[in-house]
Amino acid sequence: MKQSLLHENISRVRSRLANAARNANRTDSDIRLIAVSKTKPVDAIREAFRAGIRDFGENYVSEGVEKCQQCRSLDITWHFLGPLQSNKTRLVAEHFDWIHSVDRLKTLTRLNAQRPSDKAPLKVCLQVNIPQEPSKSGVSSPAELTELALAALEFERLELCGIMAIPAPTADPSTQLAQFERIASLLNIDAIPPQMRELSMGMSADMEPAIAAGSTMVRVGTDIFGARYT
């Protein structure tokens, strides 16, 4: 992607984010823009960094770790977004700042044990899959979410921050908003720890309704970097 086009894309996404925040009577500085850079070259990440992006998200462990290493001179906050196999938890624990996709106690246990002591605690979002879509991971009930959240509080090398979700795809804005509002309401459950304030939800196609429902982190790939490579 040409440098000028990437900068134009980032500017356009930031404008969308700011407009959505204003329409929701929110402040855009309270919403973190995560550039999802999976399958994209390191040069694109460096160019996005020069355009002011500081948060980058990766879905594949090996690819993400390689990018973390190649960009270690840059002040980047790295977010792991994809499903995580047990044999790769150490790599995420050692190289990433956030993980958004935890949905089981076993993963929490391994990440806590493998997080280096010289790093800040790994920030964690628990993935929810309340519609129980078979193709997606995540806890599937408020009770299961509460149980996992309370268990997460026991780990010293982890910082429980919030929840992440990928709602069922739909092009209808009212349906998108209803889904996001249902997800956001999970943080209002009485037993949910009060430090769980982050809502990682909303992507290129549904950023606006996600922000209207209270999202604090939007994960944008295509509208920044263009169609991803396969």
Q: Categorize the per-residue pLDDT at 230 as very low, low, confident or very high, splitting at 50, 70 and 90.
A: very low
Query: For residue 78, what are the β-bridge partners?
Result: 56
Rounded to whole angstroms, the Cα distance separating 177 from 182 reads 9
Supply the pLDDT for residue 228.
Answer: 61
In the chain, domain spans: 3-225
Asked if residue 84 has pLDDT above 90, the reply is yes
* pTM: predicted TM-score of the whole model, two decimal places: 0.95
Q: What is the mean pLDDT of the chain?
A: 94
Supply the pLDDT for residue 132.
Answer: 64
Q: Given the DSSP bridges, would you call strands 32-36 and 122-128 parallel, antiparallel or unpaired? A: unpaired
At 219, phi and psi to the nearest 5? -110, 105
CATH number of 3-225: 3.20.20.10
